[in-house]
Amino acid sequence: MKAMILAAGRGERMRPLTDHTPKPLLRAGGHALIEYHIRALAAAGINQLVINHAHLGTQVEQALGDGSGYGVRIAYSPEGEGRALETGGGIHRALPLLGGDPFLVINGDVYCDYPYQRLPSAPNGLAHLVLVDNPPHHPDGDFALEDGRVHSEGEPRYTFSGIGLYRPELFADCEAGAFPLAPLLREAMARDQVGGEFYDGLWMDIGTPERLRELETMLAG
């Protein structure tokens, strides 16, 4: 299985930290945020990675190289400075690098201890999403989960962790350019083509300087 780490976001909420450093390279606990994902994937035996980038993207390539220092192989999907394609568009652009089999996608701005070994080898449908408890800054959640199927409506609602397993066919009718992922997922949910699971372990959305400091404090402790 190949995995893609989404690293093209501008990180507006992280400014001024991201004015000169791309968000995936912000550090906590002595390591860049993206390094935690790379090491976790390598530990799970997932060693073929794709990383997209836009804002200050050359810094990402310079910092991580070809991945050999982490025991993985990294291919890059550059989107151009200031031209990030959003989540859906970024994945669509990287499809030639990801191949024809199901692939894993991880948001680069989360921190978690999810064990990637527990993922199914393929989704039961077009996608398999990992859902988590709703954090204080997102109390209403994103999706409902019932009997292993994810729905756009229903209760209780959980937050999408940013960890998803997808078939390339999810993007079959998409055209190149910038577009979000959520509408594709909701369309697939309407056809009962999205499975999922709930994860109750450590998960944090590192989207603001305050949450980055919270992570630093947790790792230091």
Q: In whole angstroms, what is the distance from residue 181 CA to residue 193 CA?
A: 15
Task: List Cβ neighbours of 15 (8 Å cut-off, separation of 6 or more).
Answer: none
Whether the CB-CB separation of 165 and 103 falls below 8 Å is answered with yes
How confident is the model at residue 189, as a pLDDT? 98
Over the chain (221 residues), what is each successive 10-residue block's mean pLDDT? 92 80 91 96 97 92 96 94 84 97 96 95 97 95 97 96 98 94 97 98 93 92 80
Whether the CB-CB separation of 51 and 76 falls below 8 Å is answered with yes
| Overall fold of domain 2-220 | Spore Coat Polysaccharide Biosynthesis Protein SpsA; Chain A (3.90.550)
Domain ranges of the chain: 2-220
The three-state (H, E, C) secondary structure of 97-109, written as one string: HHCCCCEEEEECC
What's the pTM? 0.95
Q: In whole angstroms, what is the distance from residue 195 CA to residue 166 CA?
A: 10
How confident is the model at residue 207, as a pLDDT? 87
Distances (CA, A) of 84 to 15, 80, 160, 211: 17, 7, 21, 23
How confident is the model at residue 14, as a pLDDT? 79
